[in-house]
Amino acid sequence: MPVSPLNRRDFVKKSAVTGAAVAAAGSVAAAPAQAAERGPAKKNRTWSFSVLGTTDLHSHVFDWDYYLDKAYSDSKGNSVGVARVATLIKQQRAAKGEERVLLVDAGDIIQGTSLAYYFARVQPITDKGAPKHPMAVAMNHMRYDAAALGNHEFNYGIEVLRKFESQCRFPLLGANALDAKTLRPAFQPYTVKRICVPGAPDIKVGILGLTNPGIALWDKDNVSGKMVFPGLVEQAKKYVPRLRALGCDVVFLTDHSGLDGSSSYGDELPYVENASNLVAQQVPGIDAILVGHTHVEVPSYTVKNDETGEDVLLSEPYCWGYRLSVFDFELELVRGQWKVTKKTAQTLNPNTVDEDPEIKKLLEADHELVVKYVNTAVGTCTEDLSAAESCWKDVPIMDFIHQVQMDTVKAGLSASDAALPLISVAAPFSRTADIPAGSVTIKDIAGLYIYDNTLYGKKLTGAQLKDYLEYAAKYYHQVPAGTAVDTATLTNANNFWDYMYDTAAGVSYDIDIAAAEGSRIKNLTYNGTSVADDQVFVVAVNNYRANGGSGYPHIAAADIAYSSTNEIRQLMIDYVTSKGSLDPKDFAVTNWRLTQGGTPVFA
């Protein structure tokens, strides 16, 4: 089965020196003698090469789900992991020639699975004598040429990131990750690679890496006072001309930033989160962009540059190793200068190939170590707790998160703040999460709380809390009273995804899905009494939301009553370990519900 519409024979044929055209017999007879003596005009030299791209791998090495402790599967037949992608890459190099293929990543490499957590927290790569990070081992073996920094690279702190960087045999690029004091690049901004063309000048490919300015908010605890993150457009305008001045024939960007010009952190920063389209549109001199961050598949997308009118080619290969982007470039040597004459992009699916046996050999032991870790029992549960209905019902499994958050914040409050009412907000990260009756393992809890968030306590007034909950309620599509509610189409209005939707514990309220957005929160009470606008609450909330993630109102600027560097997931594990048994009777309270015109949607 071909791995690309362009096989090696066609690829090399396109890149060969164009031979003399054979003229038709009649034309030869009619040609002047002088022209016949000179022979046909010599055509310019041509060449072709490819850039392969991955993004948002999130430490998926093998096709394995650590939360379910089995091979990964989904309804669309996707596979995950760089081990399969590595096989596709080998096929591309075999088809096109090793020297004609570059390999680039667009960030979010070292966080996202139990494997990532294990080598950041359980057996950290920063420990003396610790093994290399599995992603460094895999990506070195795959011979990456460069990778952009993702926002999740900073989740475990700069020390872990720097250690990972030191283990990579390719640069981590971040032209807009600057030292806070000097405003000089804290990471390498770009790299220049050469494509060797026999008998002709090398093709110089400049690869510029840009990361996400939202890091300044989402990982404020790790980067504040150490690094700053200006906008992608601003820094691309600085570095793209520099790459052209260095003689780069092709300028390729790898951006940990989506395509639509949106931001999930409101107005807290002056820079756009998903700015790759704006970079293409506003910065002249770019040939193509590998896009990341938003976990979508965009095989090929073109943006016209405002200044030059030239088309910029973009591609985003989903996430987790679901896809591999392939950029194919054709060039012509014109008066000693290589010019791009054609460029195309597509995505390839690795689900039909086997995992690279060499990566399996290199990292099987690390994988088995993590499998053993996630299957460690930490306690028991008195009944099955499922998250299947957590997006439209107040279910006990979510109250488990709320209880842990409130217990932890309460224990760390000052005497004055301890007198304030305490509530919790949290999102249903996974509808497939389930804590079974009987033995509870680390993987059961990790499957419920899949992010490495830490915990804050922030102060909101009653009026601000109502605004916060109204913002959350835009998650639901409006369903008029008397109309049947279909849970399959009820949620995720306004591109508001499950991880963005917060429910609250400690207060009681109704969400009227028949009402218009902004006026859905009804009967908001605390201890049976209506919440007053000036009443002050301490709100237990994760660091992502506390620092502006998903654009919730008021919370980022709110006063801090508590903060911790402990992951919420580990706090949940500790809760079960200390109690020995997880019993919903200890924490389950139904305090919110959906209504239509005051009538409960679910009995």
What is the Cα–Cα distance from 177 to 159, expressed in whole angstroms? 15
pLDDT at 5: 40
Residue 29: the pLDDT is 35
- Give me the pLDDT at residue 40, please: 57
Helix (H, G, I), strand (E, B) or coil at 352: helix
Q: What is the pTM of this model?
A: 0.86
Q: Which regions in the chain score pLDDT beneath 50? A: 1-37
pLDDT in tens, 23-77: 333 333 334 444 444 555 568 899 999 999 999 999 999 999 999 999 999 999 9
Report CA-CA distances (Å) from 462 to 427, 526, 537, 598.
20, 10, 7, 22
Tokens of 499: 């991880």
pLDDT at position 42: 65
pLDDT given at position 35: 41
Helices (H), 176-227: 215-218, 220-223
Q: What pLDDT does residue 269 have?
A: 81
Residue pair 66/443 in contact by the 8 Å Cβ criterion: yes
Answer for the pair 243, 191: CB distance below 8 angstroms, yes or no: no
Residue 574: predicted pLDDT: 96
Q: Which amino acid is at 293?
A: H
pLDDT of residue 117: 95
